[in-house]
Amino acid sequence: MEALKQELKSKIIEVLNLEDIAVEDINDNDALFGDGLGLDSIDALELIVLLDKDYGIKLTDPKEGKSIFVSIETMANYIAANRTK
Amino acid sequence: MKKCYINGVGCISTQNTFDTEFLSEVAINTTENVLFANQPSYKEFIPPAAIRRMAKGVKMGIAASTKALEEANVEIPDAIITGTGMGCVEDSEKFLQAILDNNEEFLTPTSFIQSTHNTVGGQIALGLQCKGYNFTYVNGAVSFETALLDAKMQVENEEANAVLVGGIDETSKHTLELFKLVNLIKKEEDQPYSVLQPNSKGIVFSEGASFFVLENQKKESSYASIQAVSTISALEMDEVQNYIEAFLASNNLKKSDIDAVVLGNNGDVEFDGYYAISDSIFKETPQVYYKHLSGEYNTASSFGFWVASNIIKNQQLPEVVSLNKLHKESYKTVLLYNQYRGKDHSLIVLKKC
């Protein structure tokens, strides 16, 4: 699980082009949206594509994203439980 | 009809033109067939959350336009008009590459939404919260001039008091490869590259963004006024002189009224013959060239417009852009002529104000 969290942080930084942010700057329970990393709705779409492309998880209901994309911790838990690749 | 004054300028080019005195720091290239923009730090112009998604052209456009607006002391213009020949090619390439790499699946929105030609104008408006007229002209090597013509007419006819107008083009990896493949860009073996003594076909390709604030009132910051703009799609070499003479006559100008002529020579031996007017009707006129500094791109003429504006404001023609080493005591009327590969000819007259 720890390796998955590190991998996720690294992918999020790369995909969302988070300049000036390093893997060690992101805590597992930091909020991804709002006050934490400050991601927005376009980033949410990027994360949905990331789940599909890299972990084979298709989010059919966008509302699911609200609970999945809370933090690295919640994302990693969801991916570990639902990944198909 | 109101006059149209250039009251603020901002220029990002292959030279350090953004935060230095006019052409005080220039380097003449003879060995690179592609030149990249000398970019400033964008952090003071663009919020960090937005900057991470922006391609080079968007960032250059926002920084250059911010500088122009600051100089003219205009917070929000009535209109934003941009010209670009190739638009946001960097994100277009990213998006198209993603389609290929991912077998037409997993397409992400970021590069797609920023890949359109009007992204720069749109992002400037979003940053300023400017809800006024916003238009982008995509018209080859007269993209900037077309935008300028629209801006000038809006100011003159009092449809807008202040218009932000600019020309932007960015380079991108795949497009450069394609341009090299079809020999639009000079070959390595043709070095050293010279704009004035060209010995090879093709151009030194480049990128940049030049923005201007046009207003119907003269200010302390005013550079010049725009008297006339003209474009024409295609001309034969022997038709250029007639085109220029007719243009001057229609604006009640004589050849002797022109204090300097700014020419778009780009070192392409095949097409620089279009500038033979330098040896005929303007032989005795101070001549200016600039593409040895800026390189060539669809809106490189906006860099020439920036050079001409500065010559009039400073009343000085720097040696580094002097083509025939002729000078005058004052520069009241300056004519700009540009073309690209025999197409997209443009003429502009700037006057001291």
- Beta carbons of B49 and A52 less than 8 Å apart: no
Cβ within 8 Å of residue B111, ≥6 positions away: B91, B92, B94, B95, B98
Shared-domain flag, residues B192 and B289: no
Shared-domain flag, residues B175 and B44: yes
Q: Which homologous superfamily is A2-82 in?
A: ACP-like (1.10.1200.10)
Is the CB of residue B165 less than 8 Å from the CB of residue B147?
yes
Shared-domain flag, residues B208 and B319: no
Number of domains in chain B: 2
The first and second tokens of residue B270, run together, are 């095949």
Report d(CA B294, CA B188) in Å as an integer: 19
- Beta carbons of B49 and A38 less than 8 Å apart: yes
In a domain, B220, yes or no: no
- Beta carbons of B109 and A15 less than 8 Å apart: no
Shared-domain flag, residues B66 and B162: yes
Shared-domain flag, residues B189 and B236: no
pLDDT in the model for residue B7 = 98
**Cβ contacts of B53 on chain A, cutoff 8 Å:** 17, 42
In a domain, B290, yes or no: yes
pLDDT in the model for residue B49 = 77
pLDDT in the model for residue B287 = 97
pTM, rounded to two decimals: 0.93
Q: How far is B110 from chain A (nearest CA, A)?
A: 7
- Greatest pairwise CA separation for chain B in angstroms: 64
- Beta carbons of A38 and B108 less than 8 Å apart: no
CATH number assigned to the domain comprising residue B190: 3.40.47.10
Q: Can you give the residue ranges of every domain in chain A?
A: 2-82
pLDDT in the model for residue B331 = 98
pLDDT in the model for residue B259 = 98
Q: How far is A39 from chain B (nearest CA, A)?
A: 8
Residue ending a domain, choose from B195, B215, B235 = B215
pLDDT in the model for residue A38 = 87
- Beta carbons of B49 and A17 less than 8 Å apart: no
Per-residue pLDDT 10s for chain B (353 aa) are: 999 999 999 999 999 999 999 999 999 999 999 999 999 999 899 987 788 889 999 999 999 999 999 999 999 999 999 999 999 999 999 999 989 988 888 888 888 888 999 999 999 999 999 999 999 999 999 999 999 999 999 999 999 999 999 999 999 999 999 999 999 999 999 999 999 999 999 999 999 999 999 999 999 999 999 999 999 999 999 999 999 999 999 999 999 999 999 999 999 999 999 999 888 999 999 999 999 999 999 999 999 999 999 999 999 999 999 999 999 999 999 999 999 999 999 999 999 99
- Beta carbons of B110 and A42 less than 8 Å apart: yes
Cβ within 8 Å of residue B192, ≥6 positions away: B30, B31
In chain A, alpha helices (H) = 2-15, 41-55, 64-68, 72-82
pLDDT in the model for residue B61 = 98
Shared-domain flag, residues B111 and B165: yes
Supply the angle between the helices A2-15 and A41-55 in degrees, to the nearest 10: 130
pLDDT digits (tens, 9 = 90+) for B58-92: 999 999 999 999 999 999 999 999 999 999 999 99
Q: What is the DSSP string of B93-144?
A: HHHHHHHHHTTT-S--HHHHHT-STTHHHHHHHHHHT--SEEEEE--GGGHH
pLDDT in the model for residue B111 = 87
Q: Which of B48, B51, B109 sits opposite A42 (nearest CB)?
A: B109
Range of the domain at B277: 227-351
pLDDT digits (tens, 9 = 90+) for A14-71: 999 887 889 999 999 999 998 888 898 889 989 999 999 999 999 888 788 889 999 9
Shared-domain flag, residues B177 and B247: no
Report d(CA B174, CA B176) in Å as an integer: 5
Report d(CA B78, CA B65) in Å as an integer: 14
Report d(CA B284, CA B299) in Å as an integer: 28
Q: How far is A53 from chain B (nearest CA, A)?
A: 6
Shared-domain flag, residues B187 and B293: no
For residue B106, the chain A residue with the least C-alpha distance is: A49
